[in-house]
Structure 1
């Protein structure tokens, strides 16, 4: 534990230094005129735009709308993908029937599916959920299947030898053994969900960070585009950190701790 604390502090200092370096480069390019404000707004204008959005009453409401859409769409994908991935990894018949469909579907460009989702789900939040679901579900199924496949088969055989039935093997051996990998899969795909946010709010949206970015693009409000990107990045970092923390709490046996 004593060795871990300095390591954590050193990592925090390195992370702060890298972020400070990015900010410094941005400020240097903007304030020296190396890049025109039309393409790279000065940092103070971006931070002033946060205040302007707050006064307009859209800063927190748009952020909440986007968080809601990302979390619901991704959660629906996770609830279905995790058991389906377990099934594919443990059943040859399911693997032959389902895996090819997942492999095919994961290469479909989600942007091209926007017109279909509008046709099937309308212009409400259901369409946004569908885009985020489609962007994360198929990859997550295959990632979970790979995580379950890494659990040594000898553990399942030992459980069967001791009298465990199929459900007990799933519950006591396969799921706990694959859970650290599954947590990583969930953490990675929730990051992808944030990248699909702008696609989800591309058409027929009247709120959200993606909508704000696209509206700012029409008026060349580059400072608001940067502000929206910063908010999405910060939210992505927070969800990533929370998943890492959650993984440490619920998988104390993991070697990745």
Structure 2
């Protein structure tokens, strides 16, 4: 007589492995897709110029832009202008980020700071920051300080909003649970609030880095001897469109480099995700 315990039933014999369905919204890296898109865009651009659909004066082909870029590298003007812009971005972004982190953190954890800060940030944030450059020149002079102030002022308000919103989005039940276990406020801030808000803060850094790049170019076009913005303005005034587009390509490469560095920082700091 067969053992009913060890005899497989019809239900057991028809069991099948269930496909894993929990991989939705999982980010995947496709580096070749981006490279293929860039290559296709450059090929279309070159082909349009080759067949005569675009004037070389108004839209020079990528080959002419590449020769102009090689000339900038050979004569040293690329590094001279890039070094000036990087210095301004680094100092201005650091000042604005440090102030924005401090104010945004206070607004996120203190009710009085939130009540005072939200209306002020809402009032000052929409002001075009480059419009304040003449005022900063009057205050700080035509030198580097006015450009640092313009970039820092432009970075400050988006950083405040990003930090405040990120802290405010941390689930309240985690904070209440920590308080119920008697954790001190410093431990709650260090172990719950800041790690929970970090993805939003880093996303804000991406926005502020782009804002800093835009503002440094605009500030250099108004009053600077060296810098990518001053270089592009001079090339445009001389109708050297190939050199102008070479400067634009340098700015685009700089933006891609900053984005790659922030992606690396996210992978290091958000490994717990």
Aligned with residue 57 of structure 2, among 28, 38, 55: 38
CA distance in 2, matches of 1:110, 1:32: 43
Q: 1:131–1:199: 8 Å Cα contact kept in structure 2? A: no
For residue 36 of structure 1, give the secondary structure of its aligned residue in structure 2: coil
- State the 1:141 CA deviation: 0.4
Structure 1 residue 93 corresponds to structure 2 residue 112? yes
Gaps of at least 5 residues in structure 2 are 1-22
Cα deviation digits, residues 10-58 of structure 1 (max 9, x gap): 7111101110111012112222221112210121221111222223321
Q: Distance in 1 between matches of 2:168 and 2:98?
A: 19
Checking the alignment, whether the CA contact within 8 Å between 2:170 and 2:196 is kept in structure 1 is: yes
Question: How many residues of Structure 1 are paired with residues of Structure 2 in the alignment?
Answer: 249
Offset, 1:142: 0.8
Residue 249 of structure 2 aligns with which residue? Answer: 230
Tell me if 1:200 matches 2:219: yes
- The alignment status of 1:75 with 2:77, answered yes or no, reads no
Could you say what secondary structure the match of 1:108 adopts? coil
Candidates 159, 168, 180, aligned match of 1:149: 168
Please give the root-mean-square deviation of Cα atoms over the aligned residues, in Å: 1.9
User: Which one has the largest radius of gyration?
Assistant: 2
* From 174, 190, 197, the counterpart of 1:171: 190
Give the corresponding residue for 1:60.
Answer: 79
Name 1:107's counterpart in structure 2: 126
SS in 1 for 2:221: coil
Name the CA distance, whole Å, in 1 between partners of 2:264 and 2:55: 41
- Aligned mates of 2:164, 2:238 — CA distance in 1: 45
Deviations 1:177-199 (A, max 9, x none): 11122111112211221122211
Aligned with 1:158 (options 163, 177, 191) = 177
Choose between structure 1 and 2: higher helix proportion. Answer: 1
CA distance in 2, matches of 1:123, 1:99: 32
Contiguous gaps of at least 5 residues in structure 1: none
Q: For the structure 1 residues 8 and 92, does the alpha-carbon distance in structure 2 shift closer, same or farther, using more than 3 Å as the test?
A: closer
Shift of 1:111: 2.4
Q: Given the two structures, how large is their TM-score scaled by the length of structure 1?
A: 0.91
Q: What are the superposed Cα offsets for residues 79-133 of structure 1, whole Å, 9 maximum, x if unpaired?
A: 1111211211222211111111111111001221121111111111111111111
**Preserved contact between residue 46 and residue 63 of structure 2 (Cα < 8 Å):** no
- 1: distance between equivalents of 2:42 and 2:27? 23
Q: Distance in 1 between matches of 2:141 and 2:202?
A: 33
- How far 1:167 sits from its partner (Å)? 2.4
- Separation (CA, whole Å) in 2 of partners of 1:227 and 1:96: 47
Runs of 4+ in structure 1 displaced over 3 angstroms? 7-10
User: 2 CA distance for matches of 1:52 and 1:13?
Assistant: 29
